[in-house]
């Protein structure tokens, strides 16, 4: 039984298209530092709420350090079924053995690791082996290292030895930068008043903003119209929150 699902690093997530703002600048600089051949640190832990860019930075580090890897794997702790948490260590072996030979270790959403002694031990041994061999390690989570409840204490200590940075894009200036970057990357004109409208009539999390932006773009393309306040009203409906399903 495979307890940890692997996923390929996403090429579209790079340092070049990461939106740097006051709430994530430290994490961005730490991630760039980790990719330098002269970096003295080998471990980076990035934490923050969903949609704040943690996985983006994790993917960017992976792509920067192993640009030739088509299927650079990572541990996605959020994809482990709760029903599988009581499985045996042997169930982890195929995936862990493959990751043991990987050029670096990427662990996403470690706070979602199920409460299981066997899982904790398996992840700790994998982390320790990579650490001792000098490979780069990037871990993301929703909370600071000391608040991780389902992680081996030795692993928490190692995370605290490395680089630790919080990401936060909960302010409107950061959200505006993200929307402007999305429009720029797609070569779409997104007026400032439309951005303000999205911020007022969409739920405040980044995922909802991105989803609302996508709906607006699709409506503009389908109708052959420019993006405007009027089109935004028609697309999103006044007062209606938009969320990703």
User: Where are any strands of DSSP class E within 125-243?
Assistant: 136-141, 163-166
**Predicted TM-score of the model (pTM):** 0.74
Q: What is the dihedral of CA 156, 92, 139, 210, to 10 degrees?
A: -140
* Residue 95 shares a structural domain with residue 206: no
User: Where are any strands of DSSP class E within 11-115?
Assistant: 43-47, 73-76, 104-108
How sure is the predictor about 103, in pLDDT bands with cuts at 50, 70 and 90? confident
Q: Pick the most confident of 67-71, 82-86, 120-124, 152-156.
A: 152-156
Higher pLDDT pick, 33 / 235: 33
Higher pLDDT pick, 214 / 81: 214
pLDDT at 139: 94
The pLDDT tens digits for 181-193 are: 888 878 888 999 9
Domain assignment of residue 245, yes or no? no
pLDDT for residue 74 is more than 50: yes
CATH number at residue 62: 3.40.50.300
The pLDDT tens digits for 12-24 are: 688 888 888 888 9
Query: Which of 166, 198, 226 delimits the end of a domain?
Result: 166
Two tokens, residue 89: 């260590």
Domain assignment of residue 242, yes or no? no
* Residue 100 shares a structural domain with residue 185: no
Mean pLDDT of 31-50: 90
Domain assignment of residue 47, yes or no? yes
Two tokens, residue 130: 């990579």
Domain assignment of residue 243, yes or no? no
Q: What is the mean pLDDT of the chain?
A: 79
Mean pLDDT of 204-223: 85
CA distances from 134 to 98, 103, 137, 199, 213 (A): 17, 10, 9, 44, 42
Mean pLDDT of 90-112: 73
Mean pLDDT of 64-92: 59
Higher pLDDT pick, 103 / 105: 105
Domain assignment of residue 244, yes or no? no
The pLDDT tens digits for 119-173 are: 788 888 888 888 888 889 999 999 999 999 888 899 999 999 999 999 987 788 8
* Residue 119 shares a structural domain with residue 144: yes
pLDDT at 32: 94
How sure is the predictor about 211, in pLDDT bands with cuts at 50, 70 and 90? confident
Query: Which of 166, 191, 219 delimits the end of a domain?
Result: 166
> Could you report how far apart the first and last alpha carbons of the chain are, in Å?
29
For 115, the domain range is: 5-166
Instruction: Give the strands of the sheet with 43-47, arranged side by side.
Output: 5-8, 73-76, 104-108, 136-141, 43-47, 163-166
* Residue 211 shares a structural domain with residue 161: no
Mean pLDDT of 187-207: 86
């Amino acid at each position: 039984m495979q307890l940890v699902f692997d996923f390929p690093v996403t090429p579209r997530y790079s340092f070049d298209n990461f939106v740097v703002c006051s709430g994530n600048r430290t994490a961005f600089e730490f991630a760039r530092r980790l990719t330098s051949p002269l970096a003295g640190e080998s471990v980076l832990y990035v934490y923050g709420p969903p949609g704040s860019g943690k996985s983006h930075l994790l993917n960017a580090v992976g792509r920067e350090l192993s640009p030739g890897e088509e299927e650079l794997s990572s541990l996605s702790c959020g994809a482990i079924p709760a029903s599988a948490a009581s499985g045996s260590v042997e169930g982890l072996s195929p995936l862990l053995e493959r990751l043991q030979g990987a050029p670096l270790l990427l662990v996403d959403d470690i706070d979602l690791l199920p409460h299981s002694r066997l899982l904790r031990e398996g992840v700790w041994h994998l982390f320790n082996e990579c650490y001792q061999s000098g490979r780069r390690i990037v871990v993301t989570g929703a909370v600071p290292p000391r608040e991780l409840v389902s992680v081996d204490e030795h692993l928490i200590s190692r995370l605290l030895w490395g680089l630790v940075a919080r990401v936060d894009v909960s302010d409107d200036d950061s959200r505006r930068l993200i929307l402007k970057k999305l429009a720029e990357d797609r070569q779409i004109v997104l007026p400032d008043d439309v951005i303000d409208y999205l911020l007022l009539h969409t739920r405040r999390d980044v995922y909802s903003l991105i989803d609302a932006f996508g709906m607006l773009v699709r409506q503009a393309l389908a109708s052959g119209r420019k993006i405007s306040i009027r089109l935004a009203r028609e697309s999103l409906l006044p007062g209606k929150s938009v969320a990703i399903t």
